[in-house]
């Protein structure tokens, strides 16, 4: 299994809400469509948020990150342990 984590920053002028809506509603279905080709077994989207209790504080060195996609790819050893990619029981895009 190979897990990658990316740090996304939205385009200037794009609100956090619009970015997250696009990422959830438009981009996630594209990932789901190509998942079998790319051997993606799971795809996680971790969205950023603001909270009054931490407003104005620097909480990480990542700046104003908008989100963190985590594609998890199948590998030969992983498939031997849990079965072929077709046996995924939870489709991409569903709650874990």
The H helix count followed by the E strand count for the chain is 3, 3
- Answer yes or no: are the C-beta atoms of 93 and 32 closer than 8 Å: yes
- Sorted by where each begins, the domain ranges of the chain are 2-49+65-87
pTM: 0.63
More confident residue, 53 or 90: 53
Strands (E), the chain: 2-3, 40-47, 67-73
pLDDT digits (tens, 9 = 90+) for 13-52: 999 899 999 999 999 999 999 988 888 888 999 888 776 6
- On the CB side of 43, CA atoms within 13 Å amount to 20
pLDDT digits (tens, 9 = 90+) for 63-90: 677 888 888 887 765 566 555 544 444 4
The pLDDT of residue 14? 92
The domain at 2-49+65-87 falls in which architecture?
Answer: 2-Layer Sandwich (3.30)
């Amino acid at each position: 299994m190979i897990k990658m984590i990316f740090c996304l920053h939205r385009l200037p002028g794009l609100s956090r809400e619009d970015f997250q809506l696009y990422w959830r509603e438009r981009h996630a279905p594209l990932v789901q469509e190509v998942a079998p080709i790319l051997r993606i077994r799971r795809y996680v989207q971790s969205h950023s948020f603001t909270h009054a209790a931490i407003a104005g504080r620097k909480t990480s060195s990542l700046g104003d990150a908008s989100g963190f996609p985590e594609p998890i790819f199948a590998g030969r050893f992983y498939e031997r342990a849990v079965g072929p990619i077709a046996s995924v029981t939870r489709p991409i895009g569903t709650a874990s």
